[in-house]
């Protein structure tokens, strides 16, 4: 059983360079962590701080347990990123379906969509999500569908990595509206992807150190991406970050 794990955290703006540099240093030469398929870090502004999502994909639950001292729900991260950001908890899912294509450039966006499936047809909904993975679009280089038990229900997750930003509304809104409306507590969170992540499309870099060196600091790159990206970011403020700086324009929230 393959596993997708997301560790949630936060970092103040002044801590962004240190976090991005730590992530870049950990992935720069690849990693020999057993069973690690992919590793990505996303950032998005929320109020006065930035939300952090550290996503890892594992070949088996045994590999994931070995990496996190048998506690997948803990706030532990690879490379001890908790030394430069405050991580609080983790969610982990059994992977139901995967679609990966070769990337030609760095990923620019990380998208996480979750929702509680209705009792009864959850198997059919998950099957349909798996079937549609290949039709997400050419800009999505990694896409995962997963499930986990939440109380008496089943929560589905759809995580995708994007090489280029598609239509603005597409990242923030449901990609499959007909399936989203069947789920309770449907939520979408979109993050700026920190450069240097390990992609499932190039597994050789995990052990062979195939990542090309960067001339600029990953920390400087993270600051530039957040300050210059034009994408819609989800959340109650519906904040948009424009190229001319950190000014935010607020729009009324609309239901997902």
Sign of CA dihedral 226, 27, 56, 139: positive
3-state secondary structure of 218: helix
- Residue 147 has what pLDDT? 95
- Residue 164 has what pLDDT? 81
> Rounded distance, CA 77 to CA 14, Å?
20
Stronger pLDDT, 225 or 148, i.e. the higher one: 148
In the predicted structure, residue 42 carries a pLDDT above the cut 60: yes
Structural tokens at position 96: 């139901």
Alpha helices (H) along 115-189: 122-132, 168-172, 177-180
Q: What is the pLDDT of residues 54-73, one digit of tens each?
A: 999 999 999 999 999 999 99
| Cα 28 to chain centroid, rounded | 19
> Rounded distance, CA 26 to CA 78, Å?
8
Domains and CATH numbers, the chain: 3-249 (3.30.70.100)
> Rounded distance, CA 223 to CA 19, Å?
11
In the predicted structure, residue 220 carries a pLDDT above the cut 90: no
- Residue 221 has what pLDDT? 52
* Residue 167 burial class via C-beta count within 10 angstroms: exposed 0-12, middle 13-18, buried 19 and up: exposed
Q: Minimum mean pLDDT among 77-86, 122-131, 221-230, 236-245: which range? A: 236-245
Q: What is the pLDDT of residues 91-108, one digit of tens each?
A: 999 999 999 988 777 888
Stronger pLDDT, 184 or 29, i.e. the higher one: 184
Q: What percent of the chain has pLDDT above 70?
A: 75
- Residue 7 has what pLDDT? 97
Q: Minimum mean pLDDT among 2-11, 127-136, 175-184, 192-201: which range? A: 192-201
Q: Are 207 and 59 contacting, i.e. CB atoms less than 8 angstroms apart? A: no
Stronger pLDDT, 119 or 128, i.e. the higher one: 128
- Residue 59 has what pLDDT? 94
In the predicted structure, residue 240 carries a pLDDT above the cut 50: no
Please state, as a whole number, how many other Cβ atoms lie within 10 Å of the Cβ of residue 41: 31
Q: What is the pLDDT of residues 140-170, one digit of tens each?
A: 999 999 999 998 889 999 999 998 876 545 6
In the predicted structure, residue 51 carries a pLDDT above the cut 50: yes
> Rounded distance, CA 254 to CA 252, Å?
6
pTM, full prediction: 0.79
- Residue 40 has what pLDDT? 95
> Rounded distance, CA 251 to CA 255, Å?
13
| Cα 145 to chain centroid, rounded | 12
- Residue 48 has what pLDDT? 84
């Amino acid at each position: 059983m393959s596993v997708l794990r997301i560790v949630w955290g936060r970092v103040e703006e002044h801590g962004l360079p240190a976090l991005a540099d730590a992530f870049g240093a950990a992935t720069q030469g690849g990693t020999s962590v057993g069973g690690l398929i992919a590793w990505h870090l996303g950032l998005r502004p929320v109020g006065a701080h930035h939300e952090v999502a550290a996503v890892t994909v594992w070949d088996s639950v045994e590999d994931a347990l070995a990496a996190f001292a048998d506690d997948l729900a803990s706030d532990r991260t690879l490379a001890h990123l908790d030394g430069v950001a405050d991580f609080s908890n983790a969610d982990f899912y059994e992977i139901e379906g995967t679609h990966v294509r070769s990337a030609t450039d760095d990923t620019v966006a990380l998208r996480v969509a979750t929702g509680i499936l209705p009792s009864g047809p959850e198997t059919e909904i998950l099957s349909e999500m798996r079937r549609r993975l290949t039709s997400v679009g050419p800009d999505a280089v990694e896409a995962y569908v997963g499930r986990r038990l939440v109380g008496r229900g089943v929560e589905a997750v759809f995580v995708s990595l994007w090489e280029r930003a598609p239509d603005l509304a597409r990242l923030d809104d449901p990609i499959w509206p007909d399936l989203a409306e069947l789920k309770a507590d449907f939520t979408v969170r979109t993050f700026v992807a920190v450069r240097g992540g390990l992609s499932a499309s190039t597994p050789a870099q995990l052990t062979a150190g195939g990542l090309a060196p960067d001339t600029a600091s990953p920390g400087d790159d993270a600051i530039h991406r957040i300050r210059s990206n034009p994408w819609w970011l989800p959340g109650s403020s519906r904040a948009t970050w424009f190229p001319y700086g950190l000014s935010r324009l607020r729009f009324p929230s609309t239901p997902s």
